[in-house]
Amino acid sequence: MKRVASKQPAARRSGVTLVELAASGVMLAVLLVLATRLVLAVDRQARLAERRTQASAVLQNLMEEATTRWQAASPEAVARLAAESSAPASLPDGALSAAVDEQDDPLPSRRVTLTLRWRDFPGAEPTQAALSGWVFRGEEAP
């Protein structure tokens, strides 16, 4: 029996060339680098938000303590409260400052301003959170 050669073109061999393999490796590497940067950026933003929330809670607690009574809002008492507070130690390079402004017009009042500053990372500009509260002189109990 004689075989007759067919005139069909030879089937192409399916497979991956080295160029395609190298290109897919480069794309995978770029994807991994971008994914890593994205995860780090999200982590950093979460850390910054957590520190701001922590600073806000600290300031609210200190303000509540400083504005409970007229005598508690004196400049000396507020300065002592700020100096004794361990709150700045919970934030990197934390510093707490307090100011009291006395006003007599139209009602005797004191404005207490607490400011908490910290650095999110070395070399960064300081971040700050501030809170102000007012205390009005009331009737003194006999």
Burial category of 112 from C-beta neighbours within 10 Å (exposed 0-12, middle 13-18, buried 19 and up): buried
Reported pTM = 0.71
Report how far residue 98's alpha carbon sits from residue 12's, in angstroms, rounded to the nearest whole number: 80
Domain ranges of the chain: 18-136
Residue 42's pLDDT is 98
Block means of pLDDT (10 residues each) for the chain, 142 residues, are 64 79 96 98 95 93 90 89 85 91 87 93 90 83 48
Strand pairing partners for 28?
none
What CA–CA distances, in Å, run from 134 to 17, 72, 73, 83?
Answer: 75, 12, 9, 20
**Among 87, 83, 132, which residue's Cα sits nearest to residue 112?**
132
Q: How far apart are CA 120 and CA 52, in angstroms?
A: 10
